[in-house]
Amino acid sequence: MKIGTIKESKSKETRVALSPEVVKNFIKQGFECVVESGAGLSSYFSDEAYKNAGAQILNTAAEVCQAVDVLVKVNAPQQDEVNNLKEGSVLISFLYHLTNPQLIEALNAKKISAFSTDAMPRISRAQSMDVLSSQSNLAGYKSVILAADHAPKIFPMLMTAAGTITPAKVVIFGAGVAGLQAIGTAKRLGAVVEVTDIRPETKEQVESLGGKFISFDLGNDVKTEGGYVKEAGEDVLKRQREILKKHLAVADCVITTALIPGRKAPVLITEDMVNVMKFGSVIVDMAVEQGGNCELSKADEVIERNGVKIVGLTNLAGMLPQNASEGYAKNIYNFLTHLATKEGMKWEREEEITRGTLICHQGEILRK
């Protein structure tokens, strides 16, 4: 069974779906690996490293697509990449199938069996395959580094001959994987950290990392599924905004991480809320690619409004390409060795991980 990867075509993408180490592991299991020349260069993996690991290097993406049984990618394929795929082959990548129905139709038309890595069930035996967690972990770290870089003051308290510098106050929206890593990173840098999450069960995790949990009663209007917030009514968000205004007014840095799978990111910080923030404060909006948690955020831009910097950079994990690619590749290895042996795919359609991630198969769309 041949597994391959190609250079990501999405603008500013630096990650690659297979690392040389994972190629070596696949080959030990009896698989063959094929890599497009230059696919790993942005992650600082050379063609030579892949060759030494045992991979075959081909010159173009089209050659790789035609040579392999399974193509693994980071981002969903562009239309020309769909055209290159071998009919009846397997694709594994982020697909965001709920918001990309046309892509799923195009893949299905070629009888591609497509697995969406972002649809991984939140169950304990799938943790080692969870690409959202591995990438969010790094993005949470990077968000704090960006906040510290744009802030006009340092994070830790400092005793100097000129007097005491008070620590920065950081407010984090969301205590999922990204938020928890952001808490830990901000605390290590010496900041005072406050955290808000509409899931009250996250309070213990926040406090275990040294953060102060901002508590409020939102009633029964919040729906969760698989550890994610599935839906939060506008009334809930309005109450949350009102409570948080006073916390934002004294914050030096704010980091927002809230996402709802398959839907636009909820607006947690309105223009009115930005207007009450301190001159020189910073917002890092990690949800900007899905519409943004801040009403004023702009994708891939750093803007300033009334003295408040709003950092809307996308693909924060891709700013740490070597770690991000290594983590993603290990997730793919664990996922694919669960789905297949060196002889081929198992196609255990009723198994929970397969059922959750297989979006279309042999001309049939399974999940909409």
**Helix crossing, 177-188 with 131-150: angle to 10°?**
40
Burial of 246 (0-12, 13-18, 19+ CB in 10 A): exposed
Answer whether 237's CB lies under 8 Å from 261's CB. no
Name, in order, each residue with C-beta under 8 angstroms of 47's C-beta and a sequence gap of 6 or more: 35, 37, 38, 40, 57
Name, in order, each residue with C-beta under 8 angstroms of 46's C-beta and a sequence gap of 6 or more: 40
At 127, list the tokens. Answer: 């943790």
Q: Which residues of 105-119 are buried (b: 16+ CB within 10 A; e: fewer)?
A: ebbbebbbbbbbbbb
- The residues annotated with a catalytic role in the active site are 122, 127, 130, 133, 228
Handedness of CA 341, 345, 350, 352 (dihedral sign): positive
Nearest partner of 76 among 289, 228, 249, 285, judged by Cα: 289
Nearest partner of 276 among 311, 301, 241, 302, judged by Cα: 241
3-class secondary-structure state, position 311: strand
- What's the chain's length in residues? 368
- Count of CB atoms situated within 10 Å of the CB of 248: 22
